[in-house]
A and B are shown apart, each in its own frame.
Chain A
């Protein structure tokens, strides 16, 4: 699905490559998490994937093609929902389709369908301010789905939510992933969230990022929170925390 081949990137403001000769792959319909400490360069990987940043060298391939040449390569869901306050929920959802010049009748139909899928059909005519944090994130996710991309990049989408809403949203997202059969790359710095959500965890062990340590999560889907107490999961959690703590400078 997605392949980074010896990718290097440097910010103009810095004198070193934050991504340095990085290679990794993500298989189709996988749910993987990238975990690392704040500022380690996780979001840079996303920005390179969706073309917001231009790599210095290397290749980024999507299904074997250079990602820059693929239309609707990746849907991006940022940390904040970034719903436009001047647009109704329906119009916010139409945004990626308006840009893609999808006919209006099709836009309305698809928005109606997706609102049913995310359980917010009654909110089409409401404005973002009328929705709770969890609802807004569901709309933000729905908007990402409407980009028509098979690869979804979710950049700490639940980090601003309270603990209980966050747990509900994690379970909700897993159901959506299984329903829509998308490939999801999920950034988080929450170890438990990464383990509960993903089939593989890509650990950033150092910056500049030369490699990602890939760890399989030994749990089947659908996931059950009770499984988080299993010895092998606890062991994985402790390993991840230990690795991340080594990098934290207080």
Chain B
């Protein structure tokens, strides 16, 4: 409990600062107080929790799922073949230079207001950290361990399955923890630019009504959900790879 005290203190200090600043500005449409945001969350709990949160989470999880599959496939291919790495690596990097908010409206043109335009934004933003981090995990395998496997007459597949894959697991979990908040941001951006439901869409709708607390409420909800999912992944990680510090 003691270790959580410093972040909790900081969190409450920030809240107090926010409250004071909002009271000073005294214009809720510009900066609502935290209390007003919580009140709004409570008032709008039904549409937020039953319609918009599930919509955003669908985009997040589908996008994250595709990114994991794509990221792992790319990382494995790049690790297995130097030629593939040389071919794909610049392309993967180039994909991250595309300004997402500029290209996302195009996705709406291509896929309409369906879930897939938002999923594509999420995938574009999250597959990169997964690919690069997992690839680094494969590459971080100790040379001596590979040599030991070779001295046992291990095949390339043996080395990959019995050494590289488990060795990259901590990197995989780090990638997932990094990708979760990004995928939520990706989903929200996609919804901002064109959707009929979702927390991003809801936030934008509240902005048009100059409802400051209404804009903040879904954002706060998104942050809370992101922290919760990252914490759950952290628990799974501790159970799945208790040997992490031994590497």
Q: Report which A residues bind B (CB closer than 8 A).
A: 47, 50-52, 71-72, 74-76, 78, 80, 82, 84-86, 95-96, 98-100, 127-129, 147
Contacts and interface: CB of A to CB of B under 8 A. Distances in A.
Interface in B95-115: none
A85 B244 CA distance: 8
Interface stretch (B39-47, B63-71, B140-148): B140-148
A158 B84 CA distance: 41
Given A72-B153, A84-B163, A99 B243 contact: no
Main SS at interface, chain A: loop
A1 B169 CA distance: 42
Contacts of A129: 243, 246
B144 A82 contact: yes
Contacts of B166: 84, 86
Contacts of B154: 99
Interface string B213-247: 00000000000000000000000000001110011
Given A86-B166, A86-B241, A99 B153 contact: yes
B147 A71 contact: no
B153 A95 contact: no
Contact of B151 (A50, A80, A98, A127): A50
A88 to B, nearest CB: 10
B243 A98 contact: no
Nearest to B165: A86
B1 to A, nearest CB: 27
Contacts of A50: 151
A128 B145 CA distance: 15
B151 A74 contact: yes
Contacts of B152: 95-96, 99-100, 147
Contacts of B142: 82
Contact of B147 (A52, A72, A74, A95): A52
